[in-house]
């Protein structure tokens, strides 16, 4: 009998609702894949994955109705996603068989029975199903034995050639669970990597796998393993990741979830030699790509510019051009910059009691620039606070005259 007691209340409720609704609709739902693996390991699950041999659409709509949720359909995967507030996502799929005509290409999909559906999966520990009506376990590939022996094992010798993304999935899953890759599986993985199997998949799919690895709590170990196995060469050419730098990033993003983890991990992987070409397929916006390249290539130069800055004002100017990600790496890797970074943090929240309409000039960008310049001057002690207003007036006047002169030049 499977023990659902490790599931959260919401997950248990979702399973019970699926079971009750399926009984009413006279269909047989199986809990499959990740959640079964996690339940058998006594871990909490993320999503609820259900497979049925028929009537997936009827079941999905009836479940959505019961919980007041929405249904989204993914016809290419014969899947429905049911979502509702306070509920885990419930995926309801028709059991399917898959055929890989060309290695690395997406498979052709046809409906099948539960066994077909389990045999198309990536690893034995992900190929176990629980019948929610009679609680019977279906484990045609001995996934339970592998769970006990803590092994990640593929189901057949062509698995990595059919779908090389399983190389990344296998390493990610083994690291997350603290499992080993079963020796024959490891040999097949090696062979697939050495024979260039990863070149048969698109860069976009590889980046998708990389981002999933970066979302894991132990991303540093996973990325180090990807690099060690040569699974990143297809994107970045031969280079070796620096585990200690990846670990620094892991600590930074764990402590501060607002930082862009994808940018930081990528810059760590490309340390010292990043170019926009390395980011092809990542979908990074120009701004994020610039951030990656800057952190990877210019951290040293940036630190030099800081230590060479002639005054605190110049130093603040340098720091203002840095992204929060760059600043975080700088703080973690260059402890001697710590006092400067601390001052910069103070500067960011420092304010002076001066508003735009305190300055007697027509409105325009010269006003906000002058106020910002005055804020710098007060903060760094260049002027005493009581002179802020007259200083701002003079500076704004200067900027205004300059902009007028530039305007005249353009007109003439
Ligand atoms: P988690 O969501 O906790 O990372 P999961 O096992 O649920 O784990 P998903 O990516 O949601 O992972 O995949 C759901 C299931 O689909 C997996 O358990 C596995 O059985 C199957 N699966 C996913 N990707 C593949 C693949 N590339 N090849 C074969 N089966 C796959």
Last-in-domain residue among 143, 170, 199: 143
> Are 364 and 321 members of one domain?
no
The Cα 100–Cα 161 span in angstroms is 9
Indicate whether 188 belongs to any domain.
no
Last-in-domain residue among 94, 121, 143: 143
Tell which residue, 87, 88, 106, has the closest CA to residue 96: 106
* Residue whose token pair is 């393993």: 225
Indicate whether 234 belongs to any domain.
no
> Are 374 and 338 members of one domain?
no
Average pLDDT over residues 72-92: 93
Last-in-domain residue among 143, 178, 193: 143
> Are 113 and 28 members of one domain?
yes
CA of 126 to the centre of ligand 1 (A): 7
> Are 389 and 336 members of one domain?
no
∠ Cα 345 348 352 (to 5°):
130
CATH number reported for the structural domain that contains residue 91 in this entry: 3.30.460.10
Q: How many domains does the chain have?
A: 3
Indicate whether 193 belongs to any domain.
no
> Are 137 and 4 members of one domain?
yes
The pLDDT, as a whole number, for residue 145 is 98
Tokens encoding 28: 């047989």
pLDDT digits (tens, 9 = 90+) for 18-66: 999 999 999 999 999 999 999 999 998 889 999 999 989 999 999 999 9
Q: Is the pLDDT of residue 109 over 60?
A: yes
Rounded to 5 degrees, what are φ and ψ at 182? -55, 140
> Are 74 and 9 members of one domain?
yes
Indicate whether 149 belongs to any domain.
no
The Cα 149–Cα 133 span in angstroms is 29
* Average pLDDT, rounded, for the chain: 93
The Cα 126–Cα 104 span in angstroms is 20
The pLDDT, as a whole number, for residue 18 is 97
Instruction: Mark out the alpha helices in 215-257 (DSSP H runs).
Output: 219-228, 233-236, 243-255
pLDDT digits (tens, 9 = 90+) for 325-380: 999 999 998 888 888 888 998 998 999 999 888 999 888 899 999 999 999 999 99
Point out the ligand 1 atom lying closest to the alpha carbon of residue 98: 29
In contact, 263 and 292? CB cutoff 8 Å? yes
> Are 315 and 335 members of one domain?
yes
The pLDDT, as a whole number, for residue 410 is 59
pLDDT digits (tens, 9 = 90+) for 202-220: 999 999 999 999 999 999 9
Tokens encoding 34: 């990740």
Indicate whether 375 belongs to any domain.
yes
> Ligand 1 pocket: which residues have CB below 6 Å?
33-34, 46, 49, 121-122, 126, 163, 165-166, 169
Percent of all residues in the chain with a pLDDT value above 70, rounded to a whole number:
99
Region of 80 (left: φ > 0; alpha: ψ -120 to 50; beta: rest) is beta
Ligand 1 atom 24: residue of nearest CA: 122
- Give 226: exposed, middle or buried? Use CB within 10 Å, 0-12, 13-18, 19+: buried
Point out the ligand 1 atom lying closest to the alpha carbon of residue 45: 3
Q: Is the pLDDT of residue 119 over 90?
A: yes
Banded model confidence at residue 412, pLDDT cuts 50, 70, 90: low
Indicate whether 52 belongs to any domain.
yes
Ligand 1 atom 3: residue of nearest CA: 34
Instruction: Output the pTM of the full model.
Output: 0.88
In contact, 367 and 396? CB cutoff 8 Å? yes
Banded model confidence at residue 411, pLDDT cuts 50, 70, 90: low
> Are 271 and 403 members of one domain?
no
Indicate whether 202 belongs to any domain.
no
**Which residue range is the domain that position 119 belongs to?**
1-143
- For residue 253, CA distances in Å to 171, 247, 256 come to 21, 10, 5
- For residue 9, CA distances in Å to 5, 291, 302 come to 9, 41, 50
> Are 19 and 104 members of one domain?
yes
Indicate whether 368 belongs to any domain.
yes
Q: Please tell me which residue, 119 or 303, carries the higher pLDDT value.
A: 119
Point out the ligand 1 atom lying closest to the alpha carbon of residue 166: 27
Q: Is the pLDDT of residue 409 over 70?
A: no
């Amino acid at each position: 009998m499977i023990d659902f007691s490790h599931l959260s209340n919401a997950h248990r409720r979702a399973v019970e609702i699926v079971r009750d609704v399926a009984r009413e609709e006279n269909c047989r739902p199986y809990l499959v894949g990740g959640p079964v693996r996690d339940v058998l390991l006594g871990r909490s699950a993320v999503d609820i994955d259900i497979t049925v041999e028929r009537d997936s659409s009827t079941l999905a709509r009836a479940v959505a109705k019961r919980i007041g949720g929405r249904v989204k359909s993914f016809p290419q995967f014969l899947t429905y996603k049911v979502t509702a507030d306070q509920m885990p996502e419930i995926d309801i799929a028709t059991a399917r068989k898959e055929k890989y005509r060309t290695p690395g290409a997406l498979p052709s999909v046809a409906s099948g029975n539960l066994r077909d559906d389990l045999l198309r999966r990536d690893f034995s520990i992900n190929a176990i199903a629980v019948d929610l009506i009679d609680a019977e376990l279906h484990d045609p590939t001995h996934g339970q034995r592998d769970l006990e022996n803590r092994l990640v094992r593929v189901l057949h010798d062509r698995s990595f050639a059919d779908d090389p993304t399983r190389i990344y999935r296998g390493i990610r899953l083994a690291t997350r669970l603290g499992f080993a890759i079963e020796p024959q599986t490891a040999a097949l993985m090696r062979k697939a990597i050495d024979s260039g199997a990863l070149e048969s998949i698109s860069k976009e799919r590889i980046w998708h796998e990389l981002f999933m690895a970066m979302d894991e709590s132990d991303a540093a170990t996973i990325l180090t393993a990807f690099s060690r196995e040569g699974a990143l060469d297809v994107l970045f050419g031969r280079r070796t990741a620096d585990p200690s730098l990846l670990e620094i990033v892991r600590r930074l993003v764990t402590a501060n979830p607002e930082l862009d983890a994808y940018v930081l991990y990528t810059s760590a992987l490309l340390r010292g030699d990043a170019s926009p070409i390395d980011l092809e397929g990542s979908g990074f916006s120009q701004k994020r790509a610039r951030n990656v390249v800057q952190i990877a290539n210019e951290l040293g130069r940036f630190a030099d510019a800081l230590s060479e800055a002639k005054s605190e004002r110049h130093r603040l100017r340098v720091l203002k051009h840095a992204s929060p990600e760059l600043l975080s790496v700088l703080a973690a890797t260059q402890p001697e910059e710590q006092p400067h970074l601390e001052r910069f943090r103070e500067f960011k929240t420092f304010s002076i009691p001066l508003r735009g309409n305190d300055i007697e000039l027509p409105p325009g960008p010269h006003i906000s620039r002058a106020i910002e310049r005055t804020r710098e001057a007060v903060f760094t002690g260049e002027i005493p606070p009581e002179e802020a207003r007259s200083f701002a007036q003079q500076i704004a006047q200067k900027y205004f005259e300059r902009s007028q002169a530039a305007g005249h030049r353009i007109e003439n």
